[in-house]
Amino acid sequence: MKPLSVMIVTLLIYVLFIGIRIFTNHFPADSQRLKTAQNDIPAATEQRADNLWAYYLINADNPLRKDFTVGLDTVQGNFQLDERCAGYAREMIADAAADGVELTVVSAYRSVRKQQENLESYIQRLIRSGYSSKEARVLAEKEIALPYTSEHNAGLALDILTPDWWETHDDVTDDFENTEQFRWLSENAHKYGFILRYPREYENVTGIIYEPWHYRFVGVYYAGKIRESGLPLEYFYKTNF
């Protein structure tokens, strides 16, 4: 190859390399965005976080202890949460009402026994709709956590819908995200220590389908930071605990 040709090829390779660097800087891959977001989150030891008792993972890999107990307090109607965060939920509901938005709690604390009953009931419902027993169980466990692995069993989670939800629905569905309740919660839930626990884009991380109605108490400080980061609790917790 002639010297001029070598120079041209070298120049083209250099230009291509620079172009790739510029593109990736402006349009980073998901993994790079995650790394950047995690690096921007201060360590827990550097902060004065409230309600650290509530800052822990509950999922399939981190079940509650079999001897777990919780003191309960009423939030709305017959629904209860851990007595240490129930007041935050009541305040959130009251402030939403003051803004003209009625938040209707449809689930809160559930006993382990009730969790098992819900799971088995849903499996049977799927079987009746045409799924095999194996298919029904796999699908059900993506939507309903196993006993001891549900945030509801710990008294830290609320399911919230509209007052008239059951007039037009026979189940909880994604279109809750189109309601004024969801919009209000998206803007304000973190102020009371609650986060949208199972975001759509991280189903592969949480192991749970997108649930725009499910809110988990983690304390006001961490709720704000998690909302800012855009990350699910799994990523944030690993970075900060």
Any idea how long the chain is? 241
Name which of 116, 237, 103 is nearest 158 in CA terms: 103
135, 211, 228, 234: which is the annotated catalytic residue?
211
SS3 content of the chain, % helix, strand, coil (to 5): 55, 10, 35
**Distance separating alpha carbons of residues 161 and 86, to the nearest angstrom:** 18
Question: Is 211 annotated in the active site?
Answer: yes
How far CA 231 is from CA of 37, 76, 206, 212, 236, in Å, comes to: 8, 29, 11, 15, 6
Distance CA 127, CA 136 (A): 6
Residues involved in catalysis: 211
